[in-house]
Amino acid sequence: MSEEVIKIEGGHRLRGSVKISGSKNATVALIPAAILANGPVTICGVPNISDVESLSVLLRDLGVDVCIKESKDHIVIDPTHMENKPMLQDAVQKLRASYYFMGALLGKYGKVVMKMPGGCYLGPRPIDLHLKGFEALGAAVKYEHGAYEITADKLIGNKIFLDISSVGATINIMMAAVYAQGRTIIENAAKEPEIIDVATLLNKMGAKIRGVGTNVITIDGVDHLDGCFHEIIPDRIEAATYIVLAAAAADEMTVENIIPAHLESLLSKLQEIGIDIKVDVDKVTIRRGDQPLKCTDIKTLPYPGFATDIQQPLTALLTQAHGQSVITETIYTERFKHCQELNKMGADIDVRIPSSFINGPSRLSGSVVEATDLRCGACLVIAGLIADGVTEIHAVYHIDRGYENLDGKLEALGAKIWRETI
């Protein structure tokens, strides 16, 4: 069976500027949230990634009209003729974000039947917090034949404490609660910018949500939500990936269309290890100085701490730092498959879960590697840019789930990158 691979010839220094796309993690929640409206919702700044196409397929199966404009970054979602059908397609299991349809359908119709959601395997990612939240609002949850059936005669506002400040659970409960009777309070809520973006969309529709960005969110239920227009925030993880990539492989590079406040934990860490960074209102310029990079210790934490999604790309850069760097993963403890792939390229990384010990600097050599998940793919692209020879990356569909036009953006910066079908 043929497979598409990405090949990168290392050693070409990058220069220029790159524009960051709309946030993947916001988009995959905003699209399901749009079905809570009773009229068309226009979302602009949508990244051209495969997850958007997968969500569009699920919407159409529900009878929602979906129109992706010619510019490709505008999507119009019209749920006027929507029907609440069971979501039992295989596509549900390929896309973890499909679980946002649980909160949206439960909120709108009081019932949802859905297969267990899928996505990148990063260790246990249970949805019990989501389900406990739905139960607190008055829903009954049944699981049989590989599908959840969640029903409620009516949803009633309640106080919900999240054992872990989960982004997915915070958004899902928020969506279910917008039509609930009375007031819902989510305590120990996650604070990620993507949650603020979803709440902004819902409030534009007519929801009454306060406190997003803090650990207590208050939702007063409403009877009706209208369509609206919304622009997605820039993708802080894509921005972080290109900033790390610039630190590893560029002489001088500007990363545009970003919100620097969303990236403070990364920017301060890069400055600590010896990268020259100039921060402007909506862009950063990265210069690689002559000084050797210093090793560092990192612990991933919920926002505004160091994002778990950034530790994998950063590992590729830390293979070039002098001394032993330690990354401790507190969010997804299994998130170290990239280390094995980097070691194939000549890195010296010892994984002892929940930490990886990166000994540097290592001279990386082009090799055949596999993108075991989305951010592992980003890590291997960065490694390929600084390795000697040609790196061949397999399972690139993971990369295409979260990075818009990666090849084109890198080519414009001076990288030698191409795809082949083998």
d(CA 238, CA 252): 18
Mean pLDDT of 234-260: 97
Q: Give the separation between CA 136 and CA 280, rounded to whole angstroms.
A: 44
What pLDDT is stored for residue 39 in this prediction? Answer: 97
Mean pLDDT of 297-323: 97
pLDDT of residue 333: 87
Q: What CATH superfamily classification does 24-231 receive?
A: Enolpyruvate transferase domain (3.65.10.10)
Fold (CATH) for 4-21+234-421: UDP-n-acetylglucosamine1-carboxyvinyl-transferase; Chain (3.65.10)
Q: How confident is the model at residue 178 (pLDDT cuts 50, 70, 90)?
A: very high
**pLDDT tens digits along 4-28:** 999 999 999 999 999 999 999 999 9
Q: Is 129 annotated as a binding residue?
A: yes
Structure confidence by residue, pLDDT tens digits, 35-83: 999 999 999 999 998 889 999 999 999 999 999 887 778 999 999 999 9
Report whether 156 belongs to an annotated binding site.
no
Give buried/exposed letters for 220-248 (b at 16+ CB in 10 A, else e). Answer: bbeeebebbebebbbbbbbbbbbbbbbbb
Q: In the structure, what pLDDT confidence band is assigned to residue 366 with cuts at 50, 70 and 90?
A: very high
pLDDT of 124 strictly over 60: no
The residues annotated as belonging to the active site are 120
Q: Residue 267: what are its φ and ψ, rounded to 5°?
A: -60, -40
Query: What's the pLDDT score for residue 120?
Result: 56
Query: Confidence class of residue 288 from pLDDT cuts 50, 70 and 90?
Result: confident
Residue 13 in marked binding region: no
Span 184-208, average pLDDT: 98
On the question of pLDDT at 362 being above 80, the answer is yes
CA 286 vs CA 44, 108, 111: distances in Å: 28, 46, 50
* pLDDT number for residue 361: 98
Would the pLDDT of 118 be above 90? no
| Average pLDDT, rounded, for the chain | 95
Residue 95 has pLDDT above 90, yes or no: no
**What integer pLDDT is reported at residue 119 of this predicted model?**
55
Task: Tell me if 4-21+234-421 shares its fold with 24-231.
Answer: yes
Mean pLDDT of 206-231: 98
**Residue 127 is assigned to a ligand binding site:** yes
Model confidence pLDDT, tens digit, residues 384-422: 999 999 999 999 999 998 899 999 999 999 999 999 999
pLDDT of amino acid 399: 95
Which pLDDT value is given to residue 27? 96
Going by their DSSP bridges, the two strands 140-144 and 355-360 should be labelled as unpaired
Domain boundaries, the chain: 4-21+234-421, 24-231
Task: Please check if 263 is assigned to a binding site.
Answer: no
Region 195-213: mean pLDDT is 98
How far CA 137 is from CA of 74, 195, 333, 376, in Å, comes to 34, 20, 31, 37
pLDDT digits (tens, 9 = 90+) for 333-347: 889 999 999 999 999
Task: Please say if the pLDDT value at position 125 is more than 80.
Answer: no
What sign for the dihedral angle of Cα 235, 240, 241, 242? positive
Residue 332 has pLDDT above 70, yes or no: yes
pLDDT of residue 123: 55
Q: What is the pTM of this model?
A: 0.93
DSSP reduced 3-state for 256 = strand
Confidence of residue 290 (pLDDT cuts 50, 70, 90): confident
- Mean pLDDT for 231-239 is 97
For β-strands 147-151 and 159-161, DSSP reports them as: unpaired
pLDDT attached to residue 243: 98
What are the strands of the beta sheet with 208-210, ordered from one edge?
159-161, 183-187, 216-220, 208-210
Task: Establish whether 287 is an annotated binding residue.
Answer: no
